[in-house]
Amino acid sequence: MNNEVINKNIYIIRCGEVSLKGMNKPYFERILLERLKKAFKFNNFNDADIRWIDGLIIAEVPSIYDREEIIRAASKVFGVASVSYAIKTGKEIEEISNDAIIFMKNIMLKEDIKTFKVKAKRADKTYPIQSPEIARLIGGAILKGINSLSVDIHNPDCELHIDVRREGTYIYRNKVKAFGGLPLGTNGRGLLLMSGGIDSPVAAFMMAKRGMTIDAIHFHSYPYTSQRALDKVKMLVKQLSSYMGDINLHIVNLLPIQEEIVKNCPASEVTILVRRFMMRIAEIIAKKNEDMMLITGESLGQVASQTAEALVVTDSSVNIPVMRPLIAMDKVDIMDLAKEIGTYEISIEPYEDCCTVFLPKHPVTKPKLNYIENSESALKVQELINSAAESAELIKIGLK
């Protein structure tokens, strides 16, 4: 009897790269399962039974919960490649056929379907019937059971998958693509320099998708920047936390340093100097919190401070690796990803950023390190960065 009858829904959750992990595979599999269980709990999908069975994760969830919502929650877990709603049945052809007909009729309650195609797979190689024959038999039974349907191999309205495995047979329709990547928490910890813009949340997403746990630091110039600008950053972090769990957000007022720079250094160098200070303060906070690297949303050539020369001068201010996952991406592609992950609409709210507060009219686009260092010698760099780092305020942002 299929699970639709017994009030449980089944979801097949496939992992991507986790399955290629060789010796470390059990470790990645364990973390992925933990992440999924957490995500289900977080969304209050109670009494879900989620486990690995022969290379797939099978989730059995009470059917009171919305299918789309479950698929969405599972798709947000990094390491998941795709999800399918399925029914589980026995391994006799007759039983599979009967349940395939019920499954198809349920689809037809909501959709106008005239043509179909059956695709069969036999993960259980001891099963006596080969895949093309399984597809032919089930297809034949559906044709007989539902008069209005015909087969279309090339362009069917509905493609039905029959997956015969050791523990039983799954019937499903489509695979909903998820983000892939690797489970969160399997690849170190990094500190994101988080503005209120479009790019930095996307940068965080890309690193987290590869398994990195994310902390964030935001610089403001209160009272030149407003409380609402800060609230926007918190909203962005909250949206990120729906993928990344709790995030530590460090908040630093950069104004005292900006004022020193404006007072003592050439106007055209203000932006690049401010960036070097941001990086230095971030480095101190990172090392205190066991963040192994800094992450920024910079992209080559996007603005004056992101030319190749400017990036080199920025990097030379710190002794910690700086990851720039967007470095070779075009803005339109970054924007598309921002829309997909739900940060775009928040990012385009028009609030001021500390970088724009003292924006020079003609910033240097090809800064030279010795000039910049010379300008910096007018400042008490160590004192300034230490006191900024000490003043950092920490807030924890999560879904709750």
198 lines the binding site for ligand ATP (CB under 6 A)? yes
29 binds, among ligand ATP, Mg ion, none (CB under 5 to 8 A by kind): none
- C-beta of 192: minimal distance to Mg ion in Å? 13
> For strand 189-193 and strand 213-220, is the pairing parallel, antiparallel, or unpaired?
parallel
Instruction: Give the Cα-Cα-Cα angle 170, 36, 85 (nearest 5 degrees).
Output: 25
- C-beta of 9: minimal distance to Mg ion in Å? 43
Q: Identify the three-state secondary structure at position 319.
A: coil
Q: Identify the three-state secondary structure at position 115.
A: strand
CB proximity list for 6: less than 8 A, separation 6 or greater: none
214 lines the binding site for ligand ATP (CB under 6 A)? no
Query: What residue number has its CB nearest to ligand ATP?
Result: 197
Q: Hey, what's the torsion of the CAs at 132, 137, 141, 144, to 10 degrees? A: 90
- On whether the CB atoms of residues 323 and 294 are closer than 8 A, the answer is yes
- C-beta of 3: minimal distance to ligand ATP in Å? 45
Please identify which residue in 13, 193, 272, 322 interacts with ligand ATP, judged by CB under 6 A: 193
Query: Where does this chain touch Mg ion (CB under 5 A) — which range of 196-204, 302-310, 330-338, 369-377?
Result: 196-204
218 lines the binding site for ligand ATP (CB under 6 A)? yes
Please identify which residue in 296, 317, 343, 375 interacts with ligand ATP, judged by CB under 6 A: 296
User: Distance between CA atoms of 310 and 115, rounded to whole angstroms?
Assistant: 59
- On whether the CB atoms of residues 254 and 218 are closer than 8 A, the answer is no
For the chain, the distance separating the N- and C-terminal CA atoms, rounded to the nearest angstrom, is: 39
Query: Where does this chain touch ligand ATP (CB under 6 A) — which range of 10-18, 64-72, 103-111, 291-299?
Result: 291-299
- C-beta of 248: minimal distance to ligand ATP in Å? 14
355 lines the binding site for ligand ATP (CB under 6 A)? yes
- On whether the CB atoms of residues 13 and 83 are closer than 8 A, the answer is yes
197 lines the binding site for Mg ion (CB under 5 A)? yes
Q: Per CB under 6 A, which of residues 315..354 are in contact with ligand ATP?
A: 353-354
- On whether the CB atoms of residues 171 and 135 are closer than 8 A, the answer is no
CA distances from 177 to 4, 79, 208, 274 (A): 23, 12, 18, 41
200 lines the binding site for ligand ATP (CB under 6 A)? yes
219 lines the binding site for ligand ATP (CB under 6 A)? yes
CB nearer to Mg ion: give 40 or 344.
344
CB nearer to Mg ion: give 224 or 371.
224
- Residues lying near Mg ion in the complex (CB under 5 A) are found at 195, 197
- Residues lying near ligand ATP in the complex (CB under 6 A) are found at 193-195, 197-200, 217-219, 278, 296-298, 302-303, 305, 353-355
